[in-house]
Structure 1
């Protein structure tokens, strides 16, 4: 009788003990770096039954095992911490997840009965029908059907395109940062007339908003993008897509379509993929689902809270900083000699029988006032006022202004974020015509505002709405793709360091998306 512990199945792992013995294949491996925290390794393990579980290797154990952990190799592993799989975004649907400890041991061993890894792709039809878990990352594959948008000239790099799967269903896909650059490099060097097949792992599914269907994007860390002959069994997938009709005529018109989108007017981009709602309708929303809206209103009065009119933020990412000692390194990795003052102002906005609490952020305030928060604070200090609750008179330039707002409603945070604002009378009228008439207020203090700016008016209609094209510094979450709002599109900004990358061939006939 053997005195060794028997092998146990992945499906049976739970938090009742630490002494486990499993035989597994590493099917995926990636490195996670969230400054200033030390990086760590994430892996997906699969056993002989094909069941999978996610495992974390902290920095200390990573240094011990990094040279021994190889994707697609098989191992015998002992002893883990087992936790409930409460990650905000999960790479597999096991109820538990593992973590290496100082007591973990492993050895590489050929285990013949563990099958080779095969992708299980999420069907587009299921996603479009709402048959998905928003917290579960998925693998997808499709052929590029149409280019939609590309921006690689700025620090916020993104590309948006439509993918079509073998059933002919179409999904919108957004790639960020290094993934966007890789896609553009491939697109620019593909032979004209040839389809582009894209495989994206650990993709995040974003729930649809109103009439707009769900979309997918790469996740913060862990997503890998494989294009054309990088994909295992590429010819099989190429054959499955061969009979599909593509919107951009096998991509030969892709550059033209991209140019047409990029030339949309500012007003069209302002309204892109957003629902028109009045302040009253926004305040009345009861669903926990995030939704992007455009609305109009007039700034009426400041709402004074404990923070004052500015906060101390990072020089680069605008995240709120609570650093007591300077200099310091922000979580985004930026070294700061001193905190940078940034505007943050709560303003009551009214329209007809609705009102809302809007949070104006640094970029919009500076654009309207014409002075940075740093300079304005220095002026106040020079006059003997160093209290952030002492509001400079210059801030009144933000009041009594009728504007159009692009709003991201986030009920789970009891607030919203607006990526853009506009004082275009044409745009304001176009929005107002969709839910009622509006008397446009101009000047510093309109008579129409008198008697309508009492704080107790907020109780019935108030909603908390952030107006920003920057981060909301109080709401950045490190466990999710970082939410940096685009000026035009309400999409998440992930950074995607991956454990290993693939170089693209550039030896084909080129057609160009302009890249940095």
Structure 2
């Protein structure tokens, strides 16, 4: 006889959880066996693209840690990449707990270590839930935790601004540049399901050793850079010498790695800004990928602000004010 059991404490979902120690034990490893694992994300690597059997595939690696400090590498493929990439592209709050459901174990050919990976389209990822597995994990976790960080591969390709404009290749790319000018910040409203959400955006002019371009920062980057949310900046800021919020003025002169989205509209008119997907401000990482930019002085970069108007059809009359700003800034840097 089968009866419905309705009880508030009866679990609606059950998992086949394996410990990290069990997974990393090569004895009895079955790569066809599906299981579940829970851990805290301590490192997320940059997404990559690879050609597998003549087909373009995407992957992203991240590292999990259990309450005992044992670490386990995880690789997600194709449609699963976006599930963790969202945390790579944002300033997520710690701790980031994830339960990977229906994953496989693999032996890494290079290191010989055991790692886990997604299994076709059946793998599921659950983040920071209040279910029993997450509550038990939190209770077992000590206060001394490995801090989460965003990892960049050592062979990460950093392109120059002139290469971006010359190649006209669409996609997401890393650029090492210095902020030299900031436009007045704007507020815009995104609507989702009838509710309006106020967002803050700041257009900046950046310069590298090869040229200059306008980049667009949103409230997420503002919070990451100056520690103030868009709403707080809008309501409480004090204006500096140039009429900008003083908090934003501190960004001028900073060297950063920008991950920008390159789309068709950026090449239709050169004053169309590149949206910034992510920023890296760590001096050691910036110096590793762009040592020459760290050493050069502001006035040596000023010549890169002179825009060559060889294609007049790319510019509108309304953009003259912006061009004048750039020329004035170039003269100011020369005097410095």
TM-score by length of 2: 0.46
Larger Rg: 1
Greater fraction helix: 2
Q: Which has the higher contact order (CA 8 A, sep 6+)?
A: 1
